[in-house]
């Protein structure tokens, strides 16, 4: 398996041509900010041929890539059918990313070193942002997630495989974290100490959603799995949301994971990559706008229990992501790409600080959720 730091032009071009029909490659450049996969924008040599996205799936994380592709196909097929028969988003542009077949009709290409390559249509005249630009943008992000959930609300979860066992199961992350801690040899730095203390003081949050599933209060539904702000495409022209991208994590789960993940990424004006972690705060007013947009389309299928668990779920998902980053930092950064020394530690500090800020405003967040019921 090649290292994650470098792909030669030759390697990339070799992969790209598997998805091309007789057209030369003009340019290939790295695209987006994903923490797991590598994504490249490929521009083709003939003017009339559209650019497309070439991706190398991280098969250390997605150990069953065929199932990942099968899930995406089930979801996109279902959404296409829904769009033909209902009017949920009939008044706006709404697009679904498409896989491109290889020249011999397959949905991916494996290179001799075992790399798993696939290609997707590039949705033009659209953009993503890493930080919310204002209330309209926040409502659009919420609307996109609500649309995604609404379009999938009648897809039986039996049609989706669990492609990432343990994903969003906070108690399982804690168990692994305890193992990593047990094997730790070096003395923690002051920032690591802060994280260690934070986890110890708040580990009681971890079982909330798993208990809710066990007790039958919440049920599994098809979820996106990674609906952070920069997975929602915005139309350049109208400013309206037009797609949810990055469908690798679609699987059965709780919509609370998705809503929590969306809010923790939208309501942090410094973004999840800031090093200024001490200044990170959760902005409940942005949260309100995201939820207003979400409920505009999703209220019809939300149960009272769905609302009950939301405030705590938002806090939990920030805590969980912090724990995942921190664990990876302690464990040699083998899961999340790290661009500099301490990168995953800073990411952890940001999420823990966010969870702390959510905790200190939990009554206000509860009141916002209650307003929307
Ligand atoms: C990862 O690779 P990316 O950026 O799409 C991660 C998500 C995290 C996210 C945090 C499969 O997503 O769970 O929320 O980083 N994806 C996986 O930015 O673990
Ligand atoms: Mg992702």
pLDDT tens-digit map of 46-75 = 888 999 999 999 999 999 999 999 999 999
Looking at residue 5, what is its pLDDT? Answer: 63
Do the Cβ atoms of 50 and 122 come closer than 8 Å? Answer: yes
pLDDT one-digit tens code per residue, 163-187? 999 999 999 999 999 999 999 989 9
Burial category of 104 from C-beta neighbours within 10 Å (exposed 0-12, middle 13-18, buried 19 and up)? exposed
| Residues, CB-to-ion distance under 5 Å, ligand 2 | 226, 246
Q: Are strands 52-57 and 99-100 parallel, antiparallel or unpaired?
A: unpaired
pLDDT of 3 higher than 80:
no
Q: Which ligand is nearest to the CA of 38?
A: 1
Average pLDDT over residues 221-237: 98
pLDDT of 17 higher than 80:
yes
Residues with CB under 6 Å of ligand 1 are 34-36, 61, 226, 228, 246, 249, 261, 272, 321
In the reported structure, the alpha carbon of residue 273 is separated from the centroid of ligand 1 by a whole-number distance in angstroms of: 13
9-65+98-123 and 135-371 agree in CATH topology: no
In the reported structure, the alpha carbon of residue 240 is separated from the centroid of ligand 1 by a whole-number distance in angstroms of: 24
Looking at residue 2, what is its pLDDT? Answer: 40
Average pLDDT over residues 238-267: 97
pLDDT of 1 higher than 60:
no
Q: What is the DSSP letter of 224?
A: -
Average pLDDT over residues 143-154: 96
Looking at residue 337, what is its pLDDT? Answer: 96
In the reported structure, the alpha carbon of residue 163 is separated from the centroid of ligand 1 by a whole-number distance in angstroms of: 14
- What is the CATH code of the structural domain delimited by 135-371? 3.90.1200.10
Looking at residue 4, what is its pLDDT? Answer: 61
Write down the pTM of the prediction.
0.97
Four-CA torsion 14, 16, 17, 18, nearest 10 degrees: 100
Across-strand partners of 9? none
Average pLDDT over residues 262-266: 98
pLDDT of 295 higher than 90:
yes
Domain ranges of the chain: 9-65+98-123, 135-371
Find, among 346, 193, 355, 194, the residue nearest to 275 by Cα. 346
Q: Are strands 116-121 and 99-100 parallel, antiparallel or unpaired?
A: antiparallel
pLDDT of 350 higher than 50:
yes
272 CA: nearest ligand 1 atom = 18
- What is the CATH code of the structural domain delimited by 9-65+98-123? 3.30.200.20
- Work out whether the CA dihedral 66, 171, 359, 345 comes out positive or negative: negative
């Amino acid at each position: 398996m090649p290292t994650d730091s470098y792909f030669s032009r030759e390697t990339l071009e070799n992969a790209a041509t598997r998805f091309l029909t007789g057209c030369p490659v003009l340019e290939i450049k790295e695209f987006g900010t994903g923490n797991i996969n590598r994504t490249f924008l490929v521009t083709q040599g003939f003017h009339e041929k559209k650019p497309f996205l070439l991706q190398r799936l991280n098969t250390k994380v997605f150990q069953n890539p065929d199932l990942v592709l099968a899930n995406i196909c089930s979801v996109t097929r279902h959404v296409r059918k829904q769009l033909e028969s209902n009017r949920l988003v009939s008044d706006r542009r709404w697009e679904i990313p498409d896989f491109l077949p290889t020249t011999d009709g397959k949905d991916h290409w494996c290179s001799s070193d075992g790399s798993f390559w696939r290609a997707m249509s590039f949705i033009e005249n659209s953009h993503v942002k890493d930080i919310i630009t204002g209330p309209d943008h926040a409502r659009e992000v919420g609307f996109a997630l609500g649309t995604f959930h609404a379009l999938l609300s009648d897809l039986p979860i039996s049609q989706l495989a669990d492609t990432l066992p343990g994903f969003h199961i906070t108690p399982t992350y804690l168990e692994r974290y305890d193992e990593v801690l047990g094997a730790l040899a070096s003395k923690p730095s002051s920032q690591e100490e802060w994280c260690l203390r934070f986890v110890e003081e708040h580990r009681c949050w971890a079982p909330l959603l798993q208990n809710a599933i066990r007790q039958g209060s919440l049920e599994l539904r098809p979820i996106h799995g990674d609906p952070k702000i920069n997975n929602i495409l915005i139309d350049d022209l109208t400013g309206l949301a037009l797609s949810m991208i990055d469908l690798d994590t679609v699987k059965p789960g709780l919509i609370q994971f998705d809503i929590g993940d969306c809010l923790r990424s939208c309501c942090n004006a410094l973004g999840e990559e800031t090093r200024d972690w001490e200044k990170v705060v959760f902005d409940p007013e942005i949260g309100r706008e995201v939820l207003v947009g979400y409920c505009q389309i999703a209220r019809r299928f939300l149960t009272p229990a769905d609302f009950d668990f939301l405030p705590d779920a938002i806090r939990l998902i920030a805590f969980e992501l912090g724990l995942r980053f921190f664990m990876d930092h302690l464990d040699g950064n083998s899961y999340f790409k790290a661009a500099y020394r301490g990168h995953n530690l800073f990411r952890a500090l940001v999420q823990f600080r966010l969870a702390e800020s959510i905790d200190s405003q939990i009554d206000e967040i509860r009141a916002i959720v209650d307003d929307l019921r």
